[in-house]
Structure 1
Amino acid sequence: MTSFSGKKIFVIGGSRGIGAAIVRRFANEGAVVSFTYAGATEAAKALASETGSTAIQSDASDRDAVIKVVKDQGALDVLVVNAGTLVLGDPLEVDADAVDRMIDVNVRAPYHAAVEAARQMPEGGRIIIVGSVNGDRMPFAGGAAYALTKSAVQGMARGLARDFGVKGITVNVIQPGPTSTDMNPEDGPMSDFMHSFMAIKRHGRPEEVAGLAAYLAGPEAGFTTGALHTIDGGFGA
């Protein structure tokens, strides 16, 4: 038996990249895992088949859908909110609707998911939100709205940690730096630029982020809450 055998874990945004690595990590350690996906149907089906997890299509930009899908899971031991979207560009020109949708996915979804999960979560439950080092540092132009969403998650987690501490539920944020995913591949056009800010001159691996999620979900992190856990190769140092 592992530390997650029989634990019920739900990952919002789990079909690709960091989310898929988190699903794999928990499933490989014996957890009962379900995850949501938006449009990546084939990737979600393949991951579910590979890991024995359950894939659920749900739109993280839809508040009511987020609340319903979390409520339908019943009592969770661990909630991981990984769904996120990225909008970059000159704030004088970027599409306002795209910015508002990003706020829906990156801020409103984790808030409402966390609140709904806490209604049924047992003592010792874990809520983990995947944010970004850009909540601490935005070193290039065009990222103001994205940084806004990731900074908002920081304050949210600190507040919810106090709200849910009485129930024995921890709330933590993981803040990855550049991580090799479909959205930000290590061989992408901005890699050299991003690596120039970093102490370790490479992208992170999704599995490294998943390892941090496993720690925060495990018994050794029972006294860790309301905290920001940066894993960025020194991007924000």
Structure 2
Amino acid sequence: MGNTIEGKVAFVSGGSRGIGAAVASRLAADGADVAITFQQDKSRADDIVERIRWQGRRAIAIQADSADPDAVMDALNGTVAEFGRLDILVNNAAAFQAGPIEQVSPAELERVIAVNIQAPFVASQAALRHLTAGGRIINIGSNVAVRAAFPGFALYSMSKTALIGLTKALGRELGPRAITVNLVHPGATNTEMNPADGPMASAIKDLTALGHYAEPSDIAAVVAFLASPEARYLTGASINADGGFTA
């Protein structure tokens, strides 16, 4: 299935680790040049860039705090300045917060909203100056927006639920321009933030139809499909890539 997006340019926010890194690598394997953003760990971002270059594609890493709208816009514009175009936007960067609602601080509330809601909106605005017919916007949500199975996820669930509305409304608005907008809701995925052998793993697996965590590459495969020409008639959709957690 390689080279389905040969010559395209993709932008993946939060692409230095976890699902974002897997998405960046998969899109490169399918033929895209890729820009990723990272907040702090330059060495990890550089590792992803090097991996993509070994795949024969161009890649850059841009340091940007997704909570800062100016940084988000500058990163998108910097990508176009480097590669000359933009075809695929993957809004992946996220701020995670869990705990009783009474304990959520104003600063936590502000940051989660800024990273999980404001940044995808601002990135989409900036991307639309460059996306043409066949362009793709792919938002990364969470299955807790569909099923809040555990207490303590009010803020995070709220922030990811907002992406459902953004995806539907943008899908409708951009349809006449042949730009598709879709949303992937990952379930439990084996990353540093939520390892498959972590303290919540047993309970999560019990609620998952397939009985195990996803690997980041599983989520990247769904994103790659949505980025491909084969997904040209899919827009405004939410896909639960969660092993049946929300079934």
Write out aligned runs for 1:71-220 (5 A). 71-74=77-80, 75-220=85-230
C-alpha distance in 2 between matches for 1:97 and 1:155? 24
Report percent identity of matched pairs.
40
Deviation at 1:61, TM superposition (A): 0.6
- After TM superposition, the score normalised by the length of structure 1 is 0.97
Match of 2:61 in 1: 55
Equivalent of residue 231 in structure 1, options 222, 241, 247: 241
C-alpha distance in 2 between matches for 1:144 and 1:135? 9
Query: How big is each residue's C-alpha offset from its partner over 1:193-218, in whole Å with a ceiling of 9 and x where there is no partner?
Result: 11121111111010011100110000
Unaligned runs of at least 5 residues, structure 1: none
Asked whether the equivalents of residues 118 and 164 of structure 1 are also in contact (C-alpha less than 8 Å), the reply is no
Runs of 4+ that moved beyond 4 A: none
Deviation at 1:30, TM superposition (A): 2.2
The one-letter code matched in structure 1 to 2:65 is D
The one-letter code matched in structure 2 to 1:69 is A
Equivalent of residue 64 in structure 1, options 62, 65, 70: 70
- The secondary structure found in structure 1 opposite 2:104 is coil
Unaligned runs of at least 5 residues, structure 2: 54-58
Asked if residue 10 in structure 1 is aligned to residue 25 in structure 2, the reply is: no
Asked whether the equivalents of residues 135 and 179 of structure 2 are also in contact (C-alpha less than 8 Å), the reply is yes
C-alpha distance in 1 between matches for 2:71 and 2:40? 15
Query: How big is each residue's C-alpha offset from its partner over 1:68-118, in whole Å with a ceiling of 9 and x where there is no partner?
Result: 211232331111111001101111112221121011101110111012101
C-alpha distance in 2 between matches for 1:188 and 1:40? 23
CA RMSD of aligned residues (A): 1.1
C-alpha distance in 1 between matches for 2:121 and 2:228? 22
